[in-house]
Amino acid sequence: MRKLHLLIRQIKKCGSLLNAYLKPLEKSPFIVDAPLSEVNVKRWHDGLSSNATDKVAEEVPIALIYNGVSHAVMLATPQDLEDFALGFSLSEGILQNKNELYDIEIVTQAQGIELRLEVASEAFAMLKERRRNLAGRTGCGLCGAESLEQALRLPVLDHSKLEKTVREKKDTLQANTDAASGVSLGKMSASSILAAFKTLQTKQVLQQATGATHACAWVNAQGEVVMLREDVGRHNAMDKLIGALAKSAQQENGFVLTSSRASMEMVQKVALAGYDMLAAISAPTGLAVRIAQTYGVTLVGFLREQQFVVYTHPQRIKN
């Protein structure tokens, strides 16, 4: 079945190349398929003005298309798009694991970018059953929901799936834990959390250039940022990180760190990915705290250079 999917994929790709040759793409003047661009600005300082250039982060409509059927359109920064496609698919419950994704084609169109995913027939059949239209906007995780049930679409309420995911990850972690390291499974030291905060900004290349992006990072038990993804949308940055972690089979003990506030969806994505701690630079929402408490996620907020607040499951953090 997978070979058939790949053959169909190659045929479609040949058709796309032929169409591109016969009809040149007339690109929208609004679309830039790069993570940042430069604009001319007039800068004012102490009553004086000067001409200058400034770097700005880009956001582009990104269409996620599964087996030829459009499912969602999100506004996102056009980098790490394969990570985004996989992470979004996993965090939305469209895919149960990375092996259900056969192929991704990134196609630049006149009005944005298409991520064309070929997925397992079982996953696609389930997607069609619960398919809905989404119209994503920067910083909005619920846009396009057609009912309250869809808005509060808590896939983590599937206890069996959540517990199985967490158990499998923890079993692997336990097998890889070095008893001599002094780091208990699932526990983080306060010093590691504070060290990660100090390191995060130095790793945010796009944020340093533009001042307009969020970051989500994987931090190991020593407080080192070992993987980081950026985007104008915090949910997109989280999906990119989840996708990258899934591809790398990251099994080292650690936690997720975000430069944003901790909304319900950020906690939800962490829980579904099987990670048990989320640290945020800003505040959590009440709904995020309740979900974290229920589903076993240690939630840290207001992380600063010498302080942070633990909202749920404080037993995972040691002095």
Query: Do 65 and 194 share a domain, yes or no?
Result: no
Catalytic pick among 14, 140, 143, 216: 140
Query: Do 20 and 126 share a domain, yes or no?
Result: yes
| Tens-place pLDDT, residues 106-121 | 999 989 999 999 999 9
Whole-angstrom distance, CA of residue 5 vs CA of residue 121: 9
- Average of pLDDT values for 122-144? 65
Query: Do 121 and 249 share a domain, yes or no?
Result: no
Domain count, the chain: 2
Last residue of a domain, one of 151, 171, 205: 151
pLDDT band at 176 (very low <50, low <70, confident <90, very high): very low
Whole-angstrom distance, CA of residue 165 vs CA of residue 159: 10
CB 25 within 8 A of CB 109: yes
At residue 154, does pLDDT exceed 60?
no
pLDDT given at position 21:
44
Query: Do 257 and 310 share a domain, yes or no?
Result: yes
Query: Do 85 and 214 share a domain, yes or no?
Result: no
CB 280 within 8 A of CB 292: no
Active site residue 143: no
Strands 188-189 and 134-135: unpaired
Cα Rg of the chain (Å, integer): 21
Last residue of a domain, one of 115, 135, 151: 151
- Average of pLDDT values for 67-81? 95
At residue 87, does pLDDT exceed 70?
yes
Of 84-88, 202-206, 267-271, the one with minimum mean pLDDT is 267-271
Comparing CA positions, the residue from 78, 87, 76 lying closest to residue 270 is: 87
| Tens-place pLDDT, residues 8-43 | 556 555 555 445 444 455 778 888 989 999 999 999
Of 42-56, 94-108, 170-184, 223-237, the one with minimum mean pLDDT is 170-184
Of 103-112, 247-256, 297-306, the one with minimum mean pLDDT is 247-256
pLDDT band at 221 (very low <50, low <70, confident <90, very high): very high
Query: Do 140 and 283 share a domain, yes or no?
Result: no
Query: Do 88 and 118 share a domain, yes or no?
Result: yes
Query: Do 26 and 135 share a domain, yes or no?
Result: yes
At residue 147, does pLDDT exceed 60?
no
Share of the chain above pLDDT 70, in %: 74
Query: Do 228 and 99 share a domain, yes or no?
Result: no
pLDDT given at position 183:
34
pLDDT given at position 28:
84
Last residue of a domain, one of 134, 151, 168: 151
- Average of pLDDT values for 103-108? 96
Show the domain range for 191: 156-318
Indicate which CATH number applies to the domain containing 112: 3.10.20.10
The overall average pLDDT reported for the chain is 83
Query: Do 244 and 205 share a domain, yes or no?
Result: yes
pLDDT band at 179 (very low <50, low <70, confident <90, very high): very low
- Average of pLDDT values for 289-300? 94
**Residue 227: what are its φ and ψ, rounded to 5°?**
-155, 140
